[in-house]
């Protein structure tokens, strides 16, 4: 086989174009630095998306919005966007990565609509973990993950950046979302020092089939050059989200890979779910796909 013919396909699977939305009037340094740490070894490009929205009342950004007509609000957003862009330029110009700043001018769209529109031209979005509570930034994450059609890397503000995650934990179930997350994250799995797959067994039927599924999954990942350890946990009282967070802490995981919103996200927001629990409680970056 001519190996030069398959190399472009391998390259195509990498994260060459990374989008970091910065639409709130402040700068997420953690998200920018993590995006750069991913882009540098892959010779990728980081785009910071700056701007704002007058489509809804955003509590976190009210200080940047004077009372008045639509034009004055847009003018205020322009001033804030200029300040944010200058701060981002100061951060990225010495990063050693190809980068750019993209300005949003569609102020009538919501923040999530803006990000989703620009996500069409990206391989990966990097978003800082929002604060706990029902905030606009949490809704932003939920809407972008559900609507962008691209994976989203959720980054706590305390994240220490590294070009390679030494230990990656895949929170696996056989849902569509879990399958997408596993395969979307393949470039990160291949570069990791070690990878474990966490399976949470919830009943007798799952336990009976889990051994066969684990063997097939290990063989599949091995064909991609990813050797994994399977870790099994029983769900006995704790939620699946709690088990994932506890195992990530116990194993010293640097990154968790998970499917996002396997159930409708409005249901998860109201009644709880794995994605919502990780959104609120993770202390390490989580790579989500929907």
Give the CA dihedral 14, 92, 147, 283, nearest 10 degrees.
90
| Sign, Cα dihedral of 241, 243, 244, 248 | positive
Q: What is the pLDDT of residue 263?
A: 65
Q: What is the pLDDT of residue 264?
A: 60
pLDDT beyond 90 at 80: no
What predicted TM-score, i.e. pTM, was given to this entire model?
A: 0.87
Q: What is the pLDDT of residue 206?
A: 52
CA distance 119 to 115: 6
Mean pLDDT of the chain: 85
Q: What is the pLDDT of residue 42?
A: 86
For residue range 211-265, what is the model confidence (pLDDT) as tens digits?
668 999 999 999 999 999 999 999 888 899 999 999 999 999 999 999 999 766 5
For residue range 21-68, what is the model confidence (pLDDT) as tens digits?
999 889 999 999 999 999 988 899 999 999 888 775 444 444 444 445
If DSSP states are collapsed to H, E and C, what string results for the chain? CCHHHCHHHHHHCCCCEEEEEECCCCCCHHHHHHHHHHHHHHCCEEEEEECCCCCCCCHHHHHHCCCCCHHHHHHHHHHHHHHHHHHHHHHHCCCCCEEEEEECCCCCCCHHHHHHHHHCCCCEEEEECCCCCCCHHHHHHHHHHHHCCCCEEEECCCCCCCCCCCEEEEEECCCHHHHHHHHHCHHHHHHCCEEEEEEEECCHHHHHHHHHHHHHHHHHHHHCCCCEEEEEEECCCCCHHHHHHHHHHHHCCCEEEEECCCCCHHHHHHHCCHHHHHHHHCCCCEEEEC
pLDDT beyond 50 at 5: no
CA distance 221 to 91: 37
Q: What is the pLDDT of residue 107?
A: 79
Q: What is the pLDDT of residue 164?
A: 66
**CATH class held by domain 3-155:** alpha beta
**Are the C-beta atoms of 129 and 152 separated by less than 8 Å?**
no
Q: How many CB atoms lie within 10 A of CB 129?
A: 25
**In the chain, domain spans:** 3-155, 167-289
CA distance 286 to 261: 13
Least Cα distance to 77 among 51, 42, 96 occurs for 51
Residue 74 or residue 232, greater confidence = 232
Q: What is the pLDDT of residue 132?
A: 73
pLDDT band, very low/low/confident/very high, at 272 (cuts 50, 70, 90): low
For residue range 163-190, what is the model confidence (pLDDT) as tens digits?
567 999 999 998 999 999 999 999 999 9
pLDDT band, very low/low/confident/very high, at 108 (cuts 50, 70, 90): confident
Domains 3-155 and 167-289 belong to one CATH topology: yes
For domain 167-289, is the CATH number 3.50.50.60?
Answer: no
Name the least confident of 33-37, 52-56, 91-95, 121-125.
52-56
Query: Which residues have CB under 8 Å from 83's CB, separation 6+?
Result: none
Least Cα distance to 229 among 180, 178, 169 occurs for 169
Q: What is the pLDDT of residue 205?
A: 54
pLDDT beyond 90 at 20: yes
Least Cα distance to 290 among 114, 154, 113 occurs for 154
């Amino acid at each position: 086989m001519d190996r030069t013919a398959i190399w472009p396909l391998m390259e195509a699977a990498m994260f060459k174009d990374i989008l970091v939305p910065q639409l709130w009037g402040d700068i997420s340094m953690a998200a920018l630095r993590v995006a750069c740490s991913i882009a540098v070894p892959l010779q990728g490009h980081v785009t910071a998306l700056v701007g704002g929205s007058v489509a809804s009342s955003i509590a976190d950004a009210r200080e940047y919005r004077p009372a008045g007509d639509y034009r004055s609000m847009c003018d205020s957003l322009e001033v804030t966007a200029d300040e944010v862009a200058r701060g981002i330029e100061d951060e990225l110009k010495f990063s050693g990565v190809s980068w750019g700043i993209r300005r949003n001018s569609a102020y009538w769209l919501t923040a999530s609509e803006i990000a989703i529109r620009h996500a069409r031209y990206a391989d990966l979005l990097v978003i800082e973990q929002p604060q706990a509570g029902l905030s606009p930034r949490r809704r932003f994450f939920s809407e972008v993950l559900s609507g962008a059609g691209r994976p989203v890397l959720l980054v706590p503000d305390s994240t220490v950046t590294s070009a390679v995650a030494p230990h990656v934990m895949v929170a696996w179930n056989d849902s569509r979302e879990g399958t997408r997350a596993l395969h979307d994250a393949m470039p990160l799995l291949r570069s990791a020092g070690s990878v474990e797959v966490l399976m949470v067994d919830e009943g007798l039927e799952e336990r009976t089939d889990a051994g066969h599924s684990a063997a097939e999954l290990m063989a599949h990942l091995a064909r991609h050059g990813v050797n994994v350890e399977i870790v099994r946990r029983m769900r006995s009282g704790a939620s699946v989200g709690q088990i994932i967070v506890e195992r990530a802490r116990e194993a010293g995981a640097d990154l968790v890979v998970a499917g996002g919103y396997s159930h409708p996200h409005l249901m998860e927001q109201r009644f709880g779910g794995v994605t919502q629990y990780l959104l609120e409680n993770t202390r390490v970056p989580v790579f989500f796909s929907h």
